[in-house]
Amino acid sequence: MPFKDIVQRLLKEPLAHFLIAGALVYALLSGRAPDLGERRIVVDERVVSALVGRFSDSFRRLPSQEETDGLISDWVRDQVYYREALALGLDKDDEVVVRRMRRKMESLAVADAESRTPDDAVLQAMIDKDPARYADDPRTTFEQVYLGADTPQNRQLAEASLGKLRKGERVGAVPAPIPAQLRDAGSSDVAAMFGDEFTISLRNIAPGQWSGPIASGLGLHLVRVEKRTAPQPPRLDKVRQRVENDWRANAAARARDEAYDRILKGYDVVIELPK
Amino acid sequence: MRTTITAAALLLSSTMLVSGCDKLSQVGGSTAEVKNTAYPEQVFWGDTHLHTANSVDAFGFGNRLDPEAALRFARGEEVTSSAGVKAKLARPLDFLVITDHSEGLGSTKALYDAPRIAINDPTLLRWYDLMHEGPKGSLQATAEILDARAHGKMPPGLNDPAKAQARTHKIWNEGLKTVESYNEPGKFTAFFGFEYTLMQGGNNLHRNVIFRDGIDRVNKVDPLSDAGQDWPDALWDYMDAYEKTTGGKVLAIPHNSNLSNGLMFMLTDPKGGPISAEYARRRAAHEPVVEITQIKGDSEAHPFLSPNDEFAGYGTAGWDQNNLLNTQPTKPGDLAGSYVREALKRGMLIEQRTGVNPYKFGVVGSTDAHTSLSTADDNNYFGKHPGVEPSAERATASFVPGVPVERVGRMNWQSLASGYAGVWATSNTREAIFDAMMRREVYGTTGPRMTVRFFGGWDFKADDLKGDWVKAGYTRGVPMGGDLKAGGSGAPSFIVSALKDPIDGNLDRVQVVKGWVDAAGNSHEKVFDVVWSDMDKRVAVNGKVPAVGDTVDVATATYQNTIGAPSLATVWTDPEFDPKVRAFYYVRVLQIPTPTWMDYDMVKFKLTLPAEIPLKQQERAYTSAIWYNPA
């Protein structure tokens, strides 16, 4: 049976007739605001269609006659209470209503922001604004000898070992599951292995010669930096996905803020300090 | 753009097995060169188990953060938690698997967003209204939803298969796009996955399913939902079908065996008969890794099963009384099928009889957080779900605040700020990390990022530690997860090396846990202290090393690294080796005592906590085992 016929059949039923008597179009379902002065509620084809449509969306079948009557009387009850409540101003200090209205407005504002695609100029501008964020890590090739915990004895030992290393002699390291040689290690990998303190110290060590001891979250190390590579400036074709992710992650928040700023312009916000 | 991903992903999977440097992958138009090292040089840290607002329970608990927020957080970006607090990981993770429950994917959110007028099931209407009341009502509704699930009483409105399938398909495919756009080979790996929530009436038989492949293969399937099965066969069939139709690869990680009432690692097959070689082979092939520790407790060992191990019983209290949904009390006889150490022993018993070990798995830790935030550090712990994000109340609340502990079975303080997965892989890519899981070269920690190496061979000597012992480990032995090579003579020797987390506590000791099976078909275990701090002063008495001491000041939630050692390494030879006897060996590393998250909360919120709440703990790492099989 076509949908329209079903609605028409339903409209012939006694309850629907009863409800239609003394009613007028009220179109919350179609998005228009209710007229507060109006005391007539109309259940017409459009209202019933919407109710039946939502029911079948949720349950993948048409409602029975009894269920339709239930939907209609529930809808009328909602409308009666809703309008009475608005007339009494019950929405004014209800935090849930206020929040929900705000959320509806916000979701309207951001509805299509996330599906848009930014053009290259927008992405390039994001890179230009914060190039370090998109640049590769600075890389370092270095050797390290781990001497164990940072104790006075080990600091003494470090002095002696440093002398030997500078003369080209071998020294024993404390065995630990970290590499003795790291090739082109990115600063974030170095930080993950040794901690931030070590990573910062490593930046200030002149290449070529054994130095130290420098401290890490693990203890003491002697270090010889062989090579340091500064990162290339980030290029859009290399980092497009990351920039686009950032753009997308912020798109909704940006659209929301812009919409708010526009609406806010129509208001005076006055803060009255207590006298 | 998508087509280049496809081509690159195929290239990636076929060249990943060789080492060296190849121009491997393209992600979303960005090119990256990913080098594979000849053998794993770096441990990659990740979480294989995280829920977002798309999980049916997580949304109900109040989670409003989508997969994108979860990925951004794991990658080190600042996000705002569901409770409105700004959160950022001190150290980013290297990889993440979002494992939302496939059952009713997105359905709680759909119910919440539905027009109220369309809901006429009184139960659904009640949940809808509770959720809209606010956080408290939402927790109540979620407890009721889980209850209904446990008793098979979900209202048809939430269970309509056709509708659920359409919703799942839509949300799954949206999620795939997000995950793909955050996967950055060499920098951050975002895996596709889901949780298969197999749960005979509340007994936890859950599995996390992880795909090795890119979107071009994974979008050929939807996640599998548990349709009331009792055993994981349907999942294994699904995995086989995926591999056959797409040429891809997929694995499953069981978790929370501690809440399975003995069903996770049974000695028998589901019908109570002996496990067949075929069943054992099938299980081992699909489930190479088990999650050993997470927020809902630790499943390594239980004091009842390991009375001689004074460190057994970490994170077991509260979780060993009942099954997941608190529908069936745990009997002492259930425990053996619920803990990993016992499972490793049972696996060998079954292997002795059938020739195949069904429980030959590696171990990882993960969070199972339902907050979209992978946090496993006690000093910045965001809780199991948004109802227990940082607050003055959470330390003394029930596991689901507002719902009595008699109903949910445990207190929130019984939660651990745990854990993470450490993976020894040749690069930070889906392929390399997945392959490391398949060969079990993985370990789990309760949160701290300790670096642990473990090699087994026949000729390791103390002097090896003076040279390139990692290379020696790989060339003359096998790493964690492996089988000792055949043909060795004498007793096996092991290189064990552990290093503290650079920003966490020192190490107390390193232990080797050995399990073996005798000719009579009985299993045994023994824990050996193999290297510890201040060995000259801490002399073992009757085989037990004295406690390391304690520097925790609970009044300030601080500790000092003046005890313990930053690194511990040794070459250990099994003094009780019997070449005729099947055995496994795994490493357990213990930290010095440090404050628990409850102690950090106590200081932060100026609380007085009841004496039963532990304020100190010894965090730990567990490696995958190395097995010995007699010729």
> Per-residue pLDDT tens for B88-124?
999 999 999 999 999 888 888 888 877 776 677 888 8
CB spacing of B182 vs A245 below 8 angstroms: yes
pLDDT > 90: percent of chain B = 77
Q: Is the domain covering A137-229 a CATH 3.40.190.10 domain? A: no
Q: How confident is the model at residue A168 (pLDDT cuts 50, 70, 90)?
A: very high
pLDDT value for A5: 60
Instruction: Give the end of a domain, one of B438, B469, B493.
Output: B438
| Residues B596, B500 share a domain | yes
Q: How far is CA B565 from CA A23, A136, A172, B560, in A?
A: 83, 35, 18, 12
Nearest to B499 among A177, A192, A239 (CB): A177
In a domain, B491, yes or no: yes
- Write the CB contacts of B35 (distance below 8 Å, at least 6 apart in sequence): B20, B21, B186, B427
* CB within 8 Å of chain B, chain A residues 16-45: none
Residue B353 lies in a domain: yes
Do A149 and B566 make contact, defined as CB atoms within 8 angstroms?
yes
Please, which residues 71-90 of chain A have a Cβ atom closer than 8 Å to chain B?
A: 71, 74-75, 78
Q: Chains A, B: CB contacts under 8 A, how many?
A: 114
Q: Where are the alpha helices (DSSP H) in B82-220?
A: 107-113, 122-133, 135-150, 156-159, 161-182, 215-218
Same domain, B234 and B277: yes
Name the phi and psi angles at B531, rounded to 5: -155, 140
pLDDT the model gives residue A35: 53
Of A93-97, A271-275, B528-532, the range with the lowest mean pLDDT is A93-97
Q: Specify burial of residue B42 (Cβ count, 10 A radius: 0-12, 13-18, 19+).
A: buried
For residue B176, tell me if it sits in a domain. Answer: yes
Residue B30, pLDDT > 60, answer no
Pair (B489, B587) in one structural domain: yes
Q: Average the pLDDT over each of B19-28, B407-416, B442-451 and give the range with the smallest value.
A: B19-28
User: At residue B222, does pLDDT exceed 70?
Assistant: yes
The domain containing residue B341 runs over which residues? 41-106+162-438
Measured between CB atoms, does A194 come within 8 Å of chain B? yes
The string of pLDDT tens digits covering residues A119-144 is 999 999 999 999 999 999 999 999 99
- DSSP bridge pairs for A33: none
Residue B6 lies in a domain: no
Kindly state whether B20 is in contact with chain A, defined as any CB-CB distance less than 8 angstroms.
Answer: no
H, E, C per residue of B43-88: EEEEEEEECCCCCHHHHHCCCCCCHHHHHHHHCCCCEECCCCCEEC
CA atoms within 13 A on the CB side of B197: 21
- Rounded Cα distance, B143 and B149, in Å: 10
A238–B contact, CB cutoff 8 A? yes
H or E element in which residue A210 lies: strand A210-216
If asked whether residues B347 and B203 sit together in one domain, one would say: yes
Residue in chain B nearest A54 by alpha carbon = B118
Strand partners, B365: B293
Amino acid at A234: P
B446-473 per-position pLDDT tens digit: 999 999 999 999 999 999 999 999 999 9
Cα distance from A197 to chain B (closest Cα, Å)?
Answer: 10
Whether residues B488 and B425 fall in one domain: no
Q: Are A177 and B452 in contact (CB < 8 Å)?
A: yes
Query: Average pLDDT over chain B, rounded to whole?
Result: 91
Are B502 and A218 within 8 A, CB to CB?
yes
Q: Give the containing element (helix H, strand E) for A249.
A: helix A236-264
pLDDT in tens, B274-321: 999 999 999 999 999 999 999 999 999 999 999 999 999 999 999 999
Give Cβ neighbours of residue A254 (< 8 Å, ≥ 6 apart): A113
Q: Are residues B413 and B529 in the same domain?
A: no
Helix (H) or strand (E) holding B523: strand B523-532
Among A9-23, A50-64, B17-31, the range of highest mean pLDDT: A50-64
- Chain B residues closer than 8 Å to A58 by CB: 114, 118-119, 157, 163
Question: Average pLDDT for residues B174-184, to the nearest whole number?
Answer: 95
Tell me if A176 and B72 make a contact (CB, 8 A cut-off): no
CB contact under 8 A, B569 and A216: no
CA-to-CA separations, A25 to A3, A28, A52, A152, in angstroms, rounded = 21, 10, 17, 88
The DSSP 8-state label assigned to residue A105 in this structure reads H
Residue B208 lies in a domain: yes
Judged against a pLDDT cut of 90, whether residue A251 lies above it is answered with no
Question: B344 and B473: one domain?
Answer: no
In total, how many domains does chain B have? 2
* B244 and B336 together in one domain: yes
For B166, the token pair is 């359409």
Same domain, B473 and B425: no
Residues B584-599: tens digit of each pLDDT: 999 999 999 999 999 9
Interface mutation target, options A99, A239, A245, chain B, most CBs of B under 10 Å: A245
Domain termination site, one of B393, B412, B438: B438
Same domain, B459 and B388: no
Query: Is 70 exceeded by the pLDDT of residue B3?
Result: no
Measure the CA–CA gap between B24 and B10, rounded to whole angstroms.
10
Q: Are residues B430 and B396 in the same domain?
A: yes
Instruction: Show me where the domains of chain A are located.
Output: 3-93, 105-135+235-257, 137-229
Domain assignment present for B305 = yes
pLDDT tens column, B524-541: 999 999 999 999 999 998
- Give chain B positions within 8 Å (CB) of A238: 30-32
Q: Classify residue B13: in a domain, yes or no.
A: no
Tokens of B132: 């809209």
> Could you tell me if B102 and B224 are in contact, meaning their C-beta atoms sit under 8 angstroms apart?
yes
Q: What is the pLDDT of residue B543?
A: 80
Segment among B7-16, B84-93, B133-142, B430-439 with least mean pLDDT: B7-16
Question: Which chain A residues in 104-123 lie under 8 Å from chain B, judged by CB atoms?
Answer: none
Rounded Cα distance, B470 and B467, in Å: 9
pLDDT at A157: 94
Listed range (A233-237, B77-81, B114-118, B619-623) with the worst mean pLDDT: B114-118
For range B372-391, the mean pLDDT: 95
pLDDT at A14 over 50: no
pTM to 2 decimal places: 0.86
Task: Name the pLDDT band for A9 (thresholds 50, 70, 90).
Answer: low
Q: According to the model, what pLDDT value does residue A1 have? A: 47
Residues of chain B in contact with residue A51, where contact means CB-CB under 8 angstroms, are: 117
Say if the Cβ atoms of A241 and B498 lie within 8 Å: no
pLDDT band, residue A22 (cuts 50/70/90):
very low
Tokens of B576: 């009780």
How confident is the model at residue A4, as a pLDDT? 56
A248 vs B contacts (CB less than 8 Å): 68
Q: Is residue B613 part of a domain?
A: yes
> Could you say which of B386, B409, B438 is where a domain stops?
B438
Task: With CA atoms as reference, report the closest residue to B303 among B267, B268, B341, B271.
Answer: B341
Give B37-80 pLDDT, tens digit per residue: 999 999 999 999 999 999 999 999 999 999 999 999 999 999 99
- From chain B, the residues in CB contact with A177 under 8 A are 43, 451-453, 470, 497-499, 569
Residues B189 and B268 reside in one and the same domain: yes
